[in-house]
Copies of this chain bind each other. A is one copy, B any other.
Amino acid sequence: MSLTYLDAICEAQAHALRDDPRVFIYGQDVGAFGGAFKATKNLAKDFPGRVIDSPISEDAMVGLAVGAAIEGMRPIIEMQFADFSTVGFNQIVNQAATLFWRTNISCPITVRLPFGGTSGGGPFHSQSLETIYAHYPGLIVLTPATVEDAYSMLLEAVAIDDPVIFCEHKFLYRHLKAEKLPSEALPIGKARIAREGRDLTIVAYSAMVQDALEAAGELATEGWEVEVVDLRSVKPLDTDTVMASVARTGKLLAVGESWPWGGVTAEVIARVTSEGYGLLDAPPQRLNAKDTPVPYHPNLWAAHRPTVRSIGAAARKILRH
């Protein structure tokens, strides 16, 4: 048996529905159809009345989830694409994210965002929105990079009492495979050393972890030992693991698929330089997508985001410092 990242997401939801009667799923086409990406395949059949098609109303979808959470449920909301969550943005950041702080009543909702670029996706089906959600207080923002993490982090997301933005990368959906689902996992909030090395730390998350690992593999053939840190969750962000890695390597490259202004790469560099300044023996560097919407044509798309090649090039520049 081999499972994809997408299978893992579907399995985690089945598991959550099975184990916890408070869980339900609400979103466009998630019912009998099984979702635009088939992330809820068979779930409506297996869990009657608990996997429910919503109207095309992202604002009301999130609002309903918050109300249900107040009532003790643990709803999972599927956005058809992360890009459309901008229409439900207000309910996420001002309703869900503030509820516990204002009222002491927790808000255990999980908002699943199929996100990130795929060839031909274009400007409105490719966005990476972890930054805008991580900026708001009260949200947990997860960015699993492996099949195992897609499974275990989604399970944990549903169990967490706070609202979770679960960023699942569309490119990884069918691209990544694993032999079996994990029975244990790092807790959320802990980053993972995806590859050990002592010459340079590459900090990445989600699909970029795979590209960083590939780049690290290429650099190994040139004699460089590159360490890759998979953040796993961008909020909270595990500064300790990043700093410990930088303490070993002395060099830092932060890589993200989202736009260049602000975001995870800026946050990582700001933390490392302000809290662990002495650890670095070269200027930290960052690599992000270009500062335009995500292009449709494959040629443009491939040039817009960081790639194995551009990560390798940036790494070499630092290594030769």
Contacts and interface: CB of A to CB of B under 8 A. Distances in A.
A273 B269 contact: yes
A137 interface: yes
Determine how many copies of this chain the complex contains.
2
A63 interface: no
A123 interface: yes
Interface stretch (A105-113, A204-212, A283-291): A283-291
Nearest to A283: B277
B291 A137 contact: yes
Contacts of A258: 135
B259 A135 contact: yes
A2 interface: no
Interface in A74-103: 83, 86-87, 89-90, 93-94, 97-98, 101-102
Given A132-B132, A262-B263, 14 more contacts: A86-B94, A87-B90, A89-B90, A101-B293, A102-B123, A135-B258, A135-B262, A137-B291, A138-B293, A262-B264, A266-B270, A269-B269, A270-B284, A277-B283
24 contacts: A83-B94, A86-B93, A87-B90, A98-B293, A101-B292, A102-B123, A102-B293, A132-B135, A134-B262, A135-B259, A136-B259, A137-B259, A137-B292, A138-B293, A237-B261, A262-B262, A262-B264, A262-B266, A269-B270, A270-B284, A273-B273, A274-B283, A277-B280, A277-B283
Interface of A: 83, 86-87, 89-90, 93-94, 97-98, 101-102, 123-124, 131-132, 134-138, 235, 237, 258-259, 261-267, 269-270, 273-275, 277-278, 280, 282-286, 290-293
